[in-house]
Amino acid sequence: MFGSKISDTTTLILFVIVVALIPLLAAPLGAGYPALMQFFAIFGILAIGFNILFGLTGYLSFGHAAFLGVGSYSAVWMFKLLSMNVIPALILSILIAGVFALIIGFVSLRRSGIYFSILTLAFAQMSYKLAYSVLTPITNGETGLQLALDDPRILDSARTSGQLPTPNLFGLDMNATRVVDVLGLEVQLNFGYFFSAAFLVLAFWIAMRIFRSPFGLMLKAVKTNQNRLNYTGVNTRPYTLAAFVISGMYAGLAGGLLACMDPLAGAERMVWTASGEIVLMTILGGAGTLLGPIIGATVIKFAEAKLSKFNEGVVHGWFDFLPDGLADVLTWVVAKFVGDGWHLTLGLVFMLVVTFLPGGLVEGARRIGGYLGRRGQKEDLEQLGSNVQGGKTTAAE
Amino acid sequence: MGILEVQNVNKRFGGLQALDDVNLNVEENTVHAIIGPNGAGKSTLLNCFVGRLTPDTGTVMFDGQSLIGRKPHEINQMGVSRVFQTPEIFTDLTILENVMIPSFAKRDGAFKLSPFAAVKAESAIRDHAEDMLGQVGMLEKRHMVASAMSRGDKRRLEMAMCLAQSPKLLLLDEPTAGMARADTNATIDLLKQIADSRPITFVVIEHDMHVVFSLADRISVLAQGHVIVEDHPSNIKGNPKVREAYLGDAHE
Amino acid sequence: MSKSNFSRRGVLKTGAAFGGVLAAPTFFTSAANAFTNAPGASSVTFGFNVPQSGAYADEGADELRAYQLAVKHLNGEGDGGMLNTFSSRALDGTGILGRKVEYVTGDTQTKSDAARASARSMIEQDGAIMITGGSSSGVAVAVQGLCQEAGVIFMAGLTHSNDTTGKDKKANGFRHFFNAYMSAAALAPVLSANYGNDRKAYHLTADYTWGWTQEESIAAATENLGWETINKVRTPLGAGDFSQYITPILNSGADTLILNHYGNDMVNSLTQAVQFGLRDRQVNGKDFQIVVPLYSRLMAQGAGENVKGIFGSTNWHWSLQDEASQAFVRAFGQEYGFPPSQAAHTCYVQTLLYADAVQRGGDFNPCAVAEALEGFEFDGMGNGPTLYRAADHQCFKDVLVVKGKDNPSNQFDLLEVVDVTPADQVTYAPDHPMFAGGELGECNPGA
Amino acid sequence: MGDIVLQILNGLDKGSAYALIALGLTLIFGTLGVVNFAHGALFMLGAFVTVTFTNLLSFERVTLSETETTAWGSPLEIREPVLQAWFGDFGLWLIDYSVLVSILVAIPIMFIIGVVMERGLIKHFYSRPHAEQILVTFGLAIVLQEIVRTFYGANSISQSAPDALRGMMDFGVVLGFEPGMVPYPTWRFVYFFFAVVVIGGVFAFLQFTTFGMVVRAGMADRETVGLLGIDIDKRFTFMFGLAATVAGLAGVMYTPILSPNYQLGMDFLVLSFIVVVVGGMGSLPGAVAAGFLLGILQSFASMNEVKEIIPGIDQIIIYLVAVIILLTRPRGLLGRAGVMED
């Protein structure tokens, strides 16, 4: 996958296998529980979508989280009004996010560079601020939009139990989990994860097709030299707008899926730092590469879930074998970087990656691959040349 | 009736009259050179042909249609291609991809949403692009990333990109600027060969008189935004007006 | 630690739908349990979900300290704290039902999303049987909803909105902390006694759900006194500089400013209101006054000397002299070197109350716990006699009215208790309009 | 009428802070071509220089009481301000004026922080894409604020203005209003005049010194200046230090208005970028003008009369203005063409 010659079909098959085995692979790392695995898949979709815009066209949107939020709100409203079936919810999520992206993109794409970034940021912040305050009748503000027992849900037959219904796919509940024992390891097989993972594979496949299509080629050309493209008879605006809308629909899908896994939509989903997190995921993994954004999303969600849980007690446990004084000192130091200090680690790792590995983790893997097997490398790089622009730091301008 | 007809074009930037009542008539399938001292308005004029600038007054007709108010991509789709002074190419893409993009633009128009087509499957486009690269002698390098090329190669690539669209009119903005003499001669040969091998009209802006007189069928001399002479090359050399315009700038 | 399924219906359907396909002969499903995350024989795991980053991180850190202390006391370490004063004697320092108490922690980031993700990880991965914590109402409501769906008990931390046990109440969720209505009801008599019944009030309100319930409650209570409400102005959360909201007060004819703010908003708006000389003004022949309905010692620290003489309410304060409060302050102070905050207190108490309910009911099943908590009357937890009302899972107890201290003796000694409004004065009917609109539903034991 | 004057004053006061932050940001962008997302963090660091300085000044000697105990049974700590014990009244004066005195401390500290930042990190990013500059400085901003949180916690820390400057000035009387109609806190006037002085100082420095001329030339055309054989590196470092100092001082003086906490920088970051973009990337007068403009618009949008017409306008006014300006004046109020559009 990294720097070796593998056809797209093989990549896709390997990808499907890895995605299917995640519950098994993540379990020993303590990450094999439904909520986190669902995040891997959903934020993977989000990052793939963001990469179609940023990785291909180079337009850095700092407001992408707004589409995620819009998708979630749409889905929850569908659950409240129509049915707990996830299909109508997801369709509406994608559509509404697409419409939002069309409007915001149409306006924002009149500018480029940092002006574009600021415009998207401004739109997203307006959405967030309004959702938090005056739009509370629609968004339920700070608390977030939730299901209630007395929601109409006109398509579902009334449930008599005093419990809230669960989002489902024609009766298959998203939170249905089967625990199996594999060689002493508890592996949680969660339907919601496999459902999201199916969308991840679909999203990956579509992104791959886009990367390899003339449309994708035009998007890459937009990133490299928009001026030349104009004088080559190409109207770049529809291309960037199409990329923006596709990317927004990906985010809408991700937002919808988040709501399917956990039927709540909160305004914080749209705040600008959430958009920043999407950028972080993409860059960390490797912008402009196919797999990078998914890897970045997985790493960040994993770190967020695990690092923040290491409280001082846990850390002290690691150093118990050491003499008391030393253990205390080490605990004090390490605890600054985990638990409530995990943001510090995130910031540091991020600076290191941007400084030394601007192509992200994928470039790192490629470099390691380069050390391991130098033969044939040059040819591969040429082959991959057009797929790794994100990894290049010296784009002539 | 010329393929490109410019009538009474004026363009003013603040206090500067950049173009002053410019008239120009470019015959089809000729090489028409526009020369003039620095600041004469050559680039401004060229930008009025491609939609980057809009003249304040006057008309620019291409193939019987007005170019005024059209966007660059629309003008290109009408059959006008442009080579820049500093090569404008897609540095992050491979050379082959660079040449395929104009072919796609020619075939698909200004915009086509085709996310599920595969570039790989477009053998006609690729063959055409490879053909063009062959014509400029760059076929072997087609898998190289464009940013890794020499400046001369970049210019030849840009030429191939323009040719891939089989333009009716090719605008060249100082195609040999900054080149060594040997490269310049090679470029002249290449342009001659292109002009001879197909129906195409060149409008060349050039400082290098060697290039101009090797190529041009007709020459317009621009000075202070005004066309002072338009004539056959043999008549230009001795023209006193031209000498006057170039005075103090004579070694150009 | 035993794992089980999120939902009962889920298991059945999974078995039919794809379990059969995926379950190879070597796989064994774990034994079915009666409820989510049934603990093993030796230990039981709690999930402490507190803000560790963001504006409420310090409050979260204090909550976490209290939780750790509670776990110690439950396991028989330390001096036992309020276990010695608690009216229920079921807990004896040997854990809960013979099981040692363990805990996992998570970061809510004061965001509903992150809080739910963190809670899910504690339930799904760490097998937490009870989730507790939180420092804002949005988070509390969101996590309470999640716990209801997952079938675990949620013991709310610091959450003051009426909605938590009002329109968003849930059968699996319990709140010990007081709420906006109680703050208002407790403050009203004190305001009347000190500032009279002829006041013109101007409200600055944080523009989100907690702010709105606080504003609604205090406006209703003061209007009952005969006060006139001049204006209610909503301010954006995290506005920082409130000057543009404060200057219109100067010439509005109002003589009292009510700040329905919490956290940094409260620190900044109060500081700036004082800077704008509001407290030095004379309006309608009266001294201008500022009221902060919900006080917190941690925030009072941020506002510095600006809090002096300003009335507000609080759930508990470390300077209380009853035996229970002193026992808790002693235990906490000896452990950490400073007194606990009200957030720490409510979290500590909630943990003990949960443990006690399990012990008394003899079962970890959330429905059994809920049953043991509903209608439970207790004392010796620092708030006097208290009732966990069955109808909405809200605790009813005395409310402290406090005032910024004029001469603090140290950096923790910022508030003085001026009055204790008895529980019956702050009690309301479960169907009170400010709390109407939601249903408790039925307790959900999960699997 | 008095309310309108008050809102203008509010706007000028807010605008001072915005303008100061945006000034440094533009300086860095204009000279170095770097988009610095850590600039808000510099503002925050400035504020915490004051916090630290005040803490040091009010350092207390702690002795344990032999007789009294705390509520939790340990011996009561008796605290004695060291400074007062040593210097008497002068010590008290120092504590009272700690915010103003800390300016003297903040100038060298912020300058050094700026220089270290530029030498250690930023200079490696001059030739790299703006996206990477944004990301690495964003990472740095997170790191800086987390470090501050490690030492100072998450709660706001109150700082007092000097006693003499704490009161109100009846500004309305100057304009012919009745007494008490338009009072305004003295410290906010101080902040406004401080901002004017700093902005004026920076402009004068750029206008009247050779150094400033080179820098201005560099902002207009970086390549040419490089060709002149001027050691541009040292000047860049100095400019970064200067920008950090301006941001830091803005933070120092803001502490009595806004009790600082570790997230202060992030709160101001988005805002300051919008100010810069509205003013026009790379335009110093633009940044200052936009700062004041946005400050005043924000104040007016928050008025009850306006909010009644458009609910929630005070929440989004800044962003709305940014969108409108960018769509009607693509380069911002006073920006030049071609900046940051590649």
In one letter, which amino acid is C434?
M
Q: Please indicate whether residue C87 or residue D235 has the higher confidence score (pLDDT).
A: C87
Residue D326 placed within a domain: no
Amino acid A381: pLDDT = 43
CB burial of B172-200 (b: ≥16 within 10 Å; e: otherwise) equals: bbbbbbebeeebbebbbebbeebbeeeeb
Q: CATH 3.40.50.300 in chain B, residues?
A: 1-79+167-252
Amino acid D225: pLDDT = 66
Report pLDDT digits (tens) over C342-351.
999 999 999 9
Amino acid A79: pLDDT = 92
Q: Percent of chain C at pLDDT above 90?
A: 62
Name D78's bridge partners: D63
Q: Of A32, A142, A262, which is closest to C116 when you measure between CB atoms?
A: A262
Report pLDDT digits (tens) over D255-281.
998 889 898 888 788 888 899 888 888
Report pLDDT digits (tens) over C325-337.
999 999 999 999 8
Report pLDDT digits (tens) over D116-153.
999 999 888 888 888 788 889 989 999 999 999 888 88
Backbone φ and ψ of A190, nearest 5°: -110, 130
Amino acid C370: pLDDT = 94
Report pLDDT digits (tens) over A224-241.
999 999 999 999 999 999
Identify the CATH homologous superfamily for domain B1-79+167-252.
P-loop containing nucleotide triphosphate hydrolases (3.40.50.300)
CB burial of C173-187 (b: ≥16 within 10 Å; e: otherwise) equals: bbbbbbbbbbbbbbb
Residue A117 placed within a domain: yes
Is the pLDDT reported for residue A394 higher than 50?
no
CA A6 to chain centroid, in Å, comes to: 25
Domain span including residue D199? 12-265
Residue A76 placed within a domain: yes
ipTM of the complex: 0.88
Q: Please indicate whether residue A114 or residue D244 has the higher confidence score (pLDDT).
A: D244
Q: Which helix (H) or strand (E) holds C387?
A: strand C386-388
Q: What is the C-alpha separation between B60 and B6, in angstroms, rounded?
A: 5
Q: Of D35, D128, D326, which is closest to A111 when you measure between CB atoms?
A: D326
Is the pLDDT reported for residue A68 higher than 70?
yes
Q: Which of D55, D72, D270 should be substituted to probe chain C, the one whose Cβ sees the most C Cβ atoms within 10 Å?
A: D72
Q: Please indicate whether residue D177 or residue C247 has the higher confidence score (pLDDT).
A: C247
B61 token code pair:
């007709």
Is the pLDDT reported for residue B85 higher than 90?
no
Q: What is the C-alpha separation between B1 and C96, in angstroms, rounded?
A: 101
Amino acid C33: pLDDT = 63
Residue D254 placed within a domain: yes
Put simply, the answer to whether A386 touches B100 (Cβ < 8 Å) is no
In the predicted model, what is the mean pLDDT of residues A57-83?
Answer: 93
Chain A residue numbers with beta carbons less than 8 Å from the beta carbon of B93 are 217, 220-221, 224, 385-386
Amino acid C236: pLDDT = 86
Is the pLDDT reported for residue C189 higher than 80?
yes
Amino acid C250: pLDDT = 87
Amino acid D341: pLDDT = 45
Report pLDDT digits (tens) over A252-291.
999 999 999 988 888 888 988 889 889 989 988 998 899 9
In the predicted model, what is the mean pLDDT of residues D178-196?
Answer: 88
Confidence of residue D157 (pLDDT cuts 50, 70, 90): confident
- Structurally, chain A folds into a number of domains equal to 1
B115 token code pair:
């996310």
Q: Of A32, A133, A308, which is closest to C107 when you measure between CB atoms?
A: A308
Put simply, the answer to whether A111 touches D274 (Cβ < 8 Å) is no
Amino acid A323: pLDDT = 81
Measured in angstroms, the CA of D33 and the nearest CA of chain C are apart by 30
Domain span including residue A237? 8-288
Is the pLDDT reported for residue A349 higher than 60?
yes
Is the pLDDT reported for residue A4 higher than 60?
no
In the predicted model, what is the mean pLDDT of residues B158-177?
Answer: 90
Q: Which of D260, D244, D249 is nearest to D106 (CA)?
A: D249
Report pLDDT digits (tens) over D45-83.
999 999 999 888 877 777 787 777 777 777 777 777 777
Q: Which helix (H) or strand (E) holds A102?
A: helix A86-108
Amino acid A159: pLDDT = 60
For residues B117 and A213, the answer to whether their CB atoms sit within 8 Å is: yes
Q: Which of C398, C386, C397, C403 is nearest to C190 (CA)?
A: C403
Is the pLDDT reported for residue D339 higher than 60?
no
Chain B residue numbers with beta carbons less than 8 Å from the beta carbon of A212 are 118-120
Confidence of residue B34 (pLDDT cuts 50, 70, 90): very high
Q: Percent of chain A at pLDDT above 90?
A: 46
Averaged confidence pLDDT in chain C = 87
- Structurally, chain D folds into a number of domains equal to 1
CA C389 to chain centroid, in Å, comes to: 16
Residue A26 placed within a domain: yes
Put simply, the answer to whether A129 touches C236 (Cβ < 8 Å) is yes
Q: Note whether D305 contacts A: Cβ–Cβ < 8 A.
A: no
Averaged confidence pLDDT in chain A = 86
For residues D76 and D69, the answer to whether their CB atoms sit within 8 Å is: yes
Q: What is the C-alpha separation between D192 and D187, in angstroms, rounded?
A: 9
**So what CATH class is C32-178+319-392?**
alpha beta
Put simply, the answer to whether A342 touches C120 (Cβ < 8 Å) is no
Confidence of residue D183 (pLDDT cuts 50, 70, 90): confident
- At least 3 CB pairs under 8 A between chains A and D: yes
For residues D250 and D17, the answer to whether their CB atoms sit within 8 Å is: yes
In the predicted model, what is the mean pLDDT of residues B58-69?
Answer: 91
Positive or negative, the CA dihedral D49, D50, D53, D54 is negative
Q: Note whether A160 contacts B: Cβ–Cβ < 8 A.
A: no
Put simply, the answer to whether A107 touches D281 (Cβ < 8 Å) is no
pTM (predicted TM-score): 0.89
Amino acid A383: pLDDT = 43
Amino acid A113: pLDDT = 83
- At least 3 CB pairs under 8 A between chains B and A: yes
Report pLDDT digits (tens) over C110-150.
888 889 989 999 998 889 999 999 888 889 999 999 999 88
Q: Of C233, C271, C329, which is closest to D158 when you measure between CB atoms?
A: C271
Q: Which residue of A has its CA nearest to C105?
A: A309
For residues A366 and D155, the answer to whether their CB atoms sit within 8 Å is: no
Amino acid D31: pLDDT = 78
Q: Percent of chain B at pLDDT above 90?
A: 40
Q: Which of C219, C212, C273 is nearest to C242 (CA)?
A: C273
**DSSP class of C53:** S
Averaged confidence pLDDT in chain B = 88
Every domain of chain C and the residues it spans: 32-178+319-392, 181-314
Residue A106 placed within a domain: yes
CA D48 to chain centroid, in Å, comes to: 12
Confidence of residue D226 (pLDDT cuts 50, 70, 90): low
Q: What is the C-alpha separation between A385 and A218, in angstroms, rounded?
A: 16
**So what CATH class is C181-314?**
alpha beta
Q: What is the C-alpha separation between C413 and C301, in angstroms, rounded?
A: 9
Is the pLDDT reported for residue C101 higher than 80?
yes
Amino acid A296: pLDDT = 94
Report pLDDT digits (tens) over C386-417.
999 999 999 999 999 999 998 887 778 889 99
Amino acid C11: pLDDT = 38
In the predicted model, what is the mean pLDDT of residues C272-291?
Answer: 90
DSSP state letters, D6-33: HHHHHHHHHHHHHHHHHHHHHHHHHHH-
In the predicted model, what is the mean pLDDT of residues D207-214?
Answer: 84
Q: Of A133, A175, A176, which is closest to C234 when you measure between CB atoms?
A: A133
Is the pLDDT reported for residue C3 higher than 50?
no
Amino acid A5: pLDDT = 58
The residues, ordered by sequence, that sit 6+ positions from A396 with a Cβ below 8 Å of its Cβ are: B91, B147
Which parts of chain D fold into alpha helices (H)?
2-32, 39-57, 82-87, 89-96, 98-120, 130-152, 171-175, 186-208, 210-220, 222-227, 232-254, 264-279, 284-301, 304-309, 313-328
Residue A377 placed within a domain: no
Is the pLDDT reported for residue C195 higher than 90?
yes
Confidence of residue A380 (pLDDT cuts 50, 70, 90): very low
